[in-house]
Structure 1
Amino acid sequence: MGLAACSVNYEITVPVNYAPKLELGHNETKVVVVNRFTVDSVANKNKRKRAVLKGGAYSAIAMAAKQLDMLPRIQTTVLADSVNLIADTTPIKTLAEKCNANYVLTLDSLSADIPVELVDTMEVYTTVVNTRFTLYESNGKYFKILRGKAKDFHSESRYYGIIAALLVHPTVKGNGAAISQSAGNAAIDAIKDYLPSTLTNQRQLYADNDSLKVAINHMIAKRYNEAFKILNPIIDGPDLKLASHAAYNLAVLYEAQGDIEEALKAAKLSNEKQQNVKATAIIPDLEKE
């Protein structure tokens, strides 16, 4: 009995950068970030839990400020005490005038929990943090509520197994570092529409002949000009199936370079030459990008 030939899947990782969905302004913009979450008023009066929630609240505030401060033309100022973290009840308009700010971002609430979940037949715990911010314009009249959530898995071995679920279920008050980490992630989720993002796609490529394979090797090595020189002539060749596959590979090449408009044109050309499943699948993705 003969041996079956091994098939090789050729693919390339394509990161796609997305601009923020919303902008705070096109000119120099200052944002003041303050705390309005009254930690001491939470139902659980446990002192250690309150300390953890305060730490998480400050981590959320600091992370939101850090992320916004990294944006072009945005400067942030944090008006929060990491030690005491009292709720600032100063009127928004007063805060904005005092700091000469265009916006005031307030942390209004934060909740935390540590449920145990079954993952691959193993019980692990997750830290779940919910945050609510409000972004105010400087006049204090116009605002937008921003909600964020983070759910992070942890793998400390002492929390594995049924004993963890019944006897030593981890608590919020005993996991300050994990709660603070998730609080920061929840803050990022809350303001995500104002932040750029990157999505990584795994694009399978056609490798019908040696020329396409050579072009793929150039693409993997990011030698895009060399790959283009190989693919472009094939697209105009007499073999419609090969031309279609070359055009699709070229679409992925353009996507990898960040030229989404040309990528979409090449993907549509691929289907015009001859319908194929990969081009049909990538076109909706490119239209979203």
Structure 2
Amino acid sequence: MKLFKLICILFVACLTSCTVIQYATVPVDYAPKLVFNQDTAHILLVNKIAFDSTKINKRKLVALKAAAYTAVAGAEKELKLLPGVKVTSLIDSIPFNTNPDSVKQLAATYKANYVLTINDFNAGLVLDNVQYDGNAQVAYYSTKAMVNFTLYESNGVYFKKLKGTAEEPQDGRFGYSINAVARYAALDALKDYLPYTITNQRPLYSQGEQLSAGVKQILTGRFDLAYKILNPLIDGPDPKLASRAAYNMAVVYEAQGDIDEALALAKLSNQKQQNDYATIIIAALIKE
């Protein structure tokens, strides 16, 4: 009976004090870390892979060539999206032959500023783990791919090695494809030259009528209305409410891409009253 009463008390307490944390989805766009020198850069794609047919069976050789071509095609597609970049590919899907010409000669022939060669590629199904479920063994697999590019300047002397890897969980019972993971490996190799987006899930303070009203506007993307609700609270007399409102406003500014203002509001949140949400987002915003 006493245990039953205790459970009831805890249940009622949870109903009155436990809250469901709400999260704002905040995409953050990043510019490329490296850029090509010329205003109009012409990149030539060349295959330098020589698969050893004496060590690879015919079926696997066909699959590797197809996947390597997928990696190159994925790289070509992304590079073409960069402003001021023109791409010419000398690589055919079939027969995916190696080009023996020198980089300097190819650059001169095709008037290219850069030559991007694919030098190595490998992919396949890898056993990651075996777990025991009762009397049965369950095997877990991943498809993994590795690709190596070299980016040359037109003189053929200066170059930068670009290595990429990717993996994807698979169920080996139903077969697998290496094409998708090959493309991801190529994007990983070129990541410093490509813009990208990451998505953050930011927790929000929603306790109380005023904060809840502001959170509702944030979650529906009405940031101007969220600002009108939350901003007056930051200079209010309640330091806890002010701190939480400032943090929620930091999320608003991050969602709009204003990282400097978001960082300022997050620091202000901690000044009003120290809190874990603000501390975490400050560290993340500094990296952004």
Output the TM-score relative to the length of structure 2: 0.89
Say whether the 8 Å CA contact 1:34–1:61 is kept in structure 2. Answer: no
Work out whether 1:132 is the aligned partner of 2:131: no
Say whether the 8 Å CA contact 1:212–1:246 is kept in structure 2. Answer: yes
Larger C-alpha radius of gyration, 1 or 2? 2
Aligned counterpart, 1:223: 222
Aligned counterpart, 2:273: 274
Unmatched runs of 5 consecutive residues or more in structure 1: 160-169
Aligned counterpart, 2:92: 81
Aligned counterpart, 1:68: 79
Quote the RMSD (CA, aligned, Å). 1.7
Cα distance in 2 for residues equivalent to 1:235 and 1:45: 67
Task: State the Cα deviation string for residues 155-184 of structure 1 (Å, max 9, x = none).
Answer: 36x35xxxxxxxxxx7xxxx5xx1222211
State the secondary structure of the residue aligned to 2:207.
coil
CA drift at 1:125? 2.5
Work out whether 1:152 is the aligned partner of 2:168: yes
State the secondary structure of the residue aligned to 1:114.
strand
Task: State the Cα deviation string for residues 26-72 of structure 1 (Å, max 9, x = none).
Answer: 61111111100012x26623111111111111111111111111111
Cα distance in 2 for residues equivalent to 1:119 and 1:70: 42
Moved >3 Å (runs of 4+): 118-122
Cα distance in 1 for residues equivalent to 2:56 and 2:245: 65
Cα distance in 2 for residues equivalent to 1:139 and 1:117: 43
Aligned counterpart, 2:55: 44
Say whether the 8 Å CA contact 2:29–2:196 is kept in structure 1. Answer: yes
CA drift at 1:9? 1.0
Query: Identity rate of aligned residues, in percent?
Result: 47
Number of aligned positions between the proteins:
271
Unmatched runs of 5 consecutive residues or more in structure 2: 1-7
Pair 1:54–1:274, CA change in 2 (3 A): same
Aligned counterpart, 2:34: 22
Aligned counterpart, 1:111: 122
Cα distance in 1 for residues equivalent to 2:166 and 2:197: 18
Pair 1:26–1:119, CA change in 2 (3 A): farther
Pair 1:139–1:257, CA change in 2 (3 A): same
Cα distance in 2 for residues equivalent to 1:229 and 1:154: 49
Cα distance in 2 for residues equivalent to 1:284 and 1:211: 27
Say whether the 8 Å CA contact 1:133–1:145 is kept in structure 2. Answer: yes
State the secondary structure of the residue aligned to 2:178.
helix
Cα distance in 1 for residues equivalent to 2:20 and 2:68: 50
Cα distance in 2 for residues equivalent to 1:45 and 1:193: 33
Say whether the 8 Å CA contact 2:19–2:207 is kept in structure 1. Answer: no
Work out whether 1:34 is the aligned partner of 2:33: no
Output the TM-score relative to the length of structure 1: 0.89
Pair 1:89–1:251, CA change in 2 (3 A): same
